Amino acid sequence: MEKILDRFLRYVAIDTQSDENSESQPSAAKELDLLKLLCKELNDMGVEATLDEYGYVMGSIPSNIDKKVPAIGFIAHVDTSPDASGKDVKPQIIKDYDGGDIELKGVPGLFLKPSEFHELLAHKGETIITTDGTTLLGADDKAGVAEIMDAVQYIVEHPEFKHGDIKIGFTPDEEIGRGVVKFDVKRFGADYAYTMDGGEIGELEFENFNAASAKIHIQGRNVHPGYAKDKMKNAILIGMEFNDLLPIGQRPELTEGYDGFFHIISFKGSVEEADFGYIIRDHDRKKFEEKKELIAQCVNFINVKYGEGTATLEVKDQYYNMREQVEPYYFIVEKAVKAMEMAGIKPKIQPIRGGTDGANLSFKGLPCPNVFAGGMNFHGKMEFAPLENIEKASEVVLNIIKLFAE
């Protein structure tokens, strides 16, 4: 049986960064490189699996017990964030981590420090997988992919393991909010499902942000700076002024728990024109709508001050808080709690400060909480994953299957 570490390293070596500026699905053709591989690996293990035109891999393992039990799905996304490169990932394997600073050897002088990332200290003595400082790692969510595939391999190689119908799903484009837009829940065939897309060991989530993206265009007016008085409208400065209208205390670096935020993620421009983008997040639907209204009011303020048409706004909702869809089926959360306890893990039920495919799937009629995948510091060069977290997550998958088969 292939070791889960080797499987994970094979997957992160494949560049699958999604493209938020693409209208196709998958948004980037390179995502199909891993999706095709996963479909083939499932088929090679004797699991019936298909890859459709939208980039969804769906696999099915039939029940080997006599009684009728719910069909359970496990889902992970293959794409990595557009926020950092996922090309030529060079993982570092730190065995028996001693609690000190970890040098990221691809960038001179760059270290992953427990003084800055305190969660490292909880993993002294374990095997830590890091980046080399030049890319992200891709544990979000290739750790989840590896965990599901590892569990599938165990089931295939251990026919004595009792289970109901098991459904496997791998998706593209989760990182850009389009992961399951065209996912056919009925064809997938699960009664309930879990995304393996959380962070630290023990995390279990059935609440997530309501999410939207906002794109703002500023139309300035450039004239010779020597003769600019009362004529020039500097799009860069107007954009900076716009950003200052938003509440400082509602930025990601100043929020936690159930706090929402406005997050500026891009700014590109000149005196003549500028474009910048935000993501808007809040767990509370009313506050979420208020945030969208506030950003519209800021656009209106700019247009009143500098002239109609100076600022234009495009807002798109991406996903909503799945709590209202999952709570009526809370027993699926309780199953995951028990599955973690069986693995010697203390469950931590908390809100997701992000989103998962499970949110949109829950609104499509497939209740889908989120289980830890084991990585931390996603979307950047400081991303890392303890191997023991990944191994335990795969064990939790098997325990959930076992519990539903009882």
Q: What is the mean pLDDT of the chain?
A: 96
CATH 3.30.70.360 in the chain is located at 210-319
Contacts of 29 (CB under 8 A, 6+ apart): none
Structure-block tokens of residue 87: 């090309």
Residue in 165, 174, 205, 282 annotated catalytic:
174
| pLDDT above 90 for 318 | no
Residue 185: pLDDT band with limits 50, 70, 90 = very high
Quickly name the fold that domain 4-208+321-404 has.
Aminopeptidase (3.40.630)
207: nearest Cα among 327, 119, 80: 327
Round to whole Å and give the CA distance between 129 and 301. 48
CATH code for the part of the protein at 210-319: 3.30.70.360
Predicted local confidence at residue 169, as pLDDT: 98
Contact 66, 173 (CB under 8 A): no
Phi and psi for 284 in degrees, rounded to 5? -85, 125
Round to whole Å and give the CA distance between 207 and 258. 10
Predicted local confidence at residue 252, as pLDDT: 96
Q: What is the pLDDT of residues 255-267, one digit of tens each?
A: 999 999 999 999 9
Contact 260, 250 (CB under 8 A): yes
Residue 240: pLDDT band with limits 50, 70, 90 = very high
Query: Per-residue pLDDT averaged across 345-354, rounded?
Result: 92
Q: What is the pLDDT of residues 112-171, one digit of tens each?
A: 999 999 999 999 999 999 999 999 999 999 999 999 999 999 999 999 999 999 999 999
3-state secondary structure of 197: strand
Predicted local confidence at residue 1, as pLDDT: 64
The yes-or-no answer on residue 132 being catalytic is no
Predicted local confidence at residue 150, as pLDDT: 98
Q: What is the pLDDT of residues 22-32, one digit of tens each?
A: 999 999 999 99
| pLDDT above 80 for 298 | yes
CATH 3.40.630.10 in the chain is located at 4-208+321-404
Beta strands in 232-291 (DSSP E): 261-269, 273-282
Predicted local confidence at residue 337, as pLDDT: 98
The yes-or-no answer on residue 79 being catalytic is yes
Residue 352: pLDDT band with limits 50, 70, 90 = confident
Alpha helix (H) ranges present in 252-322? Answer: 285-306
Predicted local confidence at residue 2, as pLDDT: 77
Predicted local confidence at residue 319, as pLDDT: 86
Residue 300: pLDDT band with limits 50, 70, 90 = very high
Predicted local confidence at residue 334, as pLDDT: 98
| pLDDT above 70 for 177 | yes
Q: What is the pLDDT of residues 53-96, one digit of tens each?
A: 999 999 999 999 999 999 999 999 999 999 999 999 999 999 99
Residue in 31, 79, 173, 175 annotated catalytic:
79
Predicted local confidence at residue 92, as pLDDT: 98
Structure-block tokens of residue 349: 């039920």
| pLDDT above 90 for 356 | no
